[in-house]
Structure 1
Amino acid sequence: MGRIMERTIHGYINTSQGKVAVAESKGGDLDVLFIHGNSTCAGVFKKQFADPLSEIHHFVGLDLPGHGESDDAVNASRTYSRPGLADVCLETVDKLNLRKTVIVGWSLGGHVAIEMLSRSKSIAAILVVGTPPVGDKMADGFRGRPLGGLASKAELTAEEADQFAMEVLGACAEPFVRQAVERTDRRFRPTLLVAAAKGEGANQRSVLGSSDVPVAIINGADDHIINLDYIDSVEYKNLWCGRCFRIPDAAHAPFWQAPEAFNLLLSSFLGHIADS
């Protein structure tokens, strides 16, 4: 996370699975928790924290265990899975005394958000980006092996770390993203893959097909990692506006690559939740 997010308060939360680094804006309406993707950090949301919207709502970003300034897991098999990460995030929500919480999850963070929804009744809404709600066949939600296998590889060379950063955030990725990839606990990626292969966690397609909680789906129209048609085909029980949004001229990280368009949608969704 570093100190790259302006106008925020930085600190740490002690959880049962280690110390978690957090950054908070000073807004006071909804509590909005941002969860980053595999091998990155909360800093990827700095264009949202810099938006005036963060002065209206209370934005919270965290570094997942094994990432950024958070501790590495003591027990990797317990922590580095969708359920383990969801437990850490829910514990953070509780310790920060967040209420009417909206979860914004990107990529892996979106999977964690859906897992949180399946395990807690305290979530007001979720917004997921670059995240296929996978069912029994995880491969259906992706276009080939994610990042050509880098998403599950323990050790990455400097060149592979650069490639990882560019694949997820595009050519406009800043140096801190590559640094975040290199910092990630080497146990994280392979342990996460093993847990997913074992089927640990909820059937995410079923969760979003049965939950009354509002769900917003926003993707980049040019995302080459996930299967956008699959995401559109899922039967959602409470899909915001009744459709999945695709932001033009953006790929896997529209909040970074097209922040103005993304932030407008985020503002509209949060306004909808605040008024409901």
Structure 2
Amino acid sequence: MKSSLRSALVAAAILISPILASPYVVAAEAVTSTNVSAGQVSTVERFSVRSSDGTMLAVEAKGNPAAPEILFIHGLRQSGLSWDKQFDDPTLSGFRLVRFDLRGHGDSGKPEDPESYSDPKLWADDIKAVIDGAKLHRPVLVGWSLGGYVAGAYLNRYGGSHIAGINLVDAVVKLSPDLLTPLAGQFSETATSRDLAVRSKATAEFLASCFNIQPTPEEFDKMLVINGMTARAVNEGFIQTSLTDLLPIFQTYSGPILLTHGVHDRLVRVATSERVRDLHPDSKLQLYENSGHSPFFEEPERYGHDLKAFVLSANN
């Protein structure tokens, strides 16, 4: 194990060097972790990048930089840790995996003005900063819930010529009552309440509504803490966004789209993914019969195999 650890540390230094050279990266470190059950030593690179308005974004990367790339974009009130099961999935070990905390979330910067979250150009610039800072060449974007909106904002501003494919997971692609449920509309009001008691209760209820197969109590507590770290201005700003319909953006994207949707989603209707499928000629919809809003968490083994197949196909 000592030899393996020494080799991993050397590899970590090699991996982190190109990232440190990026003008977008402010600080970086390599953390070596051991998966005891699998007997494996892996290195996770942690670094911060600066977006166009100065907001700092916390990023983690793992895997061979020369391998096909996947950039994971989490949902509202979550964090990059949402993708823990994917980062630990042996099925995805052959890829370059990158995740980050959206502005206003997790360990990333939290501007206090709602305008920092209502401007779709800033969400797009965040993705650009992460792609450039992580030295990604042609990643597949995985956008869950709000992350789907953020992926669309990037395409709208920068185009999709350098994006190998897009996986929309129960994604928000249009702010419309025919695609979002009444429950989602209710949370958009309670989550912006000035009453802390109302907002706290809404946070716990919102988190529970994200799953059909509920997390363990330990997992739920961890997620609840992360939800509580989200800046209130995120909710206040996002509902004021000027970009409310991303369907035309995904329709004109020239690459492949994989649509992943839980049948029991209580927030985003399956019709949302069906709409994208009907508009985009190179798209495929995969329904997860046991999942709610978070199929990558609720059915991770199947999701890992589905994502692997899509990424390999998108890079051929």
CA distance in 2, matches of 1:13, 1:233: 34
The answer as to whether partners of 1:133 and 1:204 remain within 8 angstroms in 2 is yes
CA distance in 2 between counterparts of 1:150 and 1:138 reads: 13
* In 2, Cα distance between equivalents of 1:233 and 1:98: 30
The DSSP-based 3-state class of the residue aligned with 2:121 is helix
Task: Tell me the alpha carbon deviations over residues 55-103 of structure 1, each in whole angstroms, 9 at most, x when there is no partner.
Answer: 2111100001110000112654034443321221112212222101110
- Which of residues 235, 255, 261 in structure 1 aligns to 2:296? 255
Whether the 8 Å CA contact 1:128–1:218 is kept in 2: the answer is yes
SS in 2 for 1:161: helix
Candidates 276, 282, 285, aligned match of 1:239: 282
Once the two structures are TM-superposed, the CA of residue 177 in structure 1 deviates from its matched residue by 1.0
Match of 2:47 in 1: 11
- What is the 5 A alignment of 1:181-200? 181-195=227-241, 200=242
For the pair shown, which has the larger CA radius of gyration, 1 or 2? 2
1:39-188 mapped onto 2 (5 Å cutoff): 39-73=77-111, 75-120=113-158, 121-134=161-174, 138-146=176-184, 148-150=186-188, 153-155=191-193, 157=197, 158-170=200-212, 171-172=214-215, 173-188=219-234
Q: In structure 1, how many angstroms separate the alpha carbons of the residues matched to 2:69 and 2:229?
A: 28
Q: Kindly provide the amino acid, as one letter, of the partner of residue 201 in structure 1.
A: L
> Normalised by the size of structure 1, how large is the TM-score?
0.87
Matched AA of 2:52: S
Distance 2:302 2:122 in 1: 32
Amino acid at match of 2:121: P
Q: Would you say the 8 A contact 2:104–2:234 is kept in 1?
A: yes
Task: Give the residue type in structure 1 aligned to 2:125.
Answer: D
Match of 2:58 in 1: 21
Deviations 1:108-141 (A, max 9, x none): 001111221222232221101111432xx62221
State how far apart, in whole Å, the 2-side matches of 1:192 and 1:104 are.
Answer: 20
Shift of 1:232: 1.1
Establish whether residue 207 from structure 1 lines up as the match of residue 249 from structure 2: yes
> What per-residue deviation string (whole Å, max 9, x for no partner) do you get for residues 173-192 of structure 1?
53221011111011110111
Q: Which residue of 2 aligns with 1:270?
A: 311
Answer whether contact 1:150 1:160 (CA < 8 A) is retained.
Answer: no
**2:265 is aligned with 1:226:** no
CA contact (8 A) 1:132 1:227 kept: no
Contact 2:47 2:60 in 1 (8 A): yes
Q: Is the 8 A contact 2:166 2:258 kept in 1?
A: yes
Shift of 1:150: 4.6
CA distance in 1, matches of 2:152, 2:263: 22
Cα distance change of structure 1 residues 128 and 153 upon mapping to structure 2, 3 Å threshold: same
TM-score by length of 2: 0.76
2: distance between equivalents of 1:20 and 1:163?
Answer: 27
Which whole-Å CA distance do the structure 2 matches of 1:31 and 1:228 have between them? 27
User: Percent identical across equivalent pairs?
Assistant: 21
Distance 1:127 1:86, change over 3 A: same
Runs of 4+ in 1 over 6 A off after TM superposition: none
- Cα distance in 2 for partners of 1:152, 1:126 equals 31
Q: Structure 2: how far apart are the matches of 1:166 and 1:182?
A: 14
C-alpha contact (below 8 Å) 2:112/2:231 kept by paired residues? no
User: Gaps spanning 5+ residues in structure 1: where?
Assistant: none
**Equivalenced residues, count:** 264
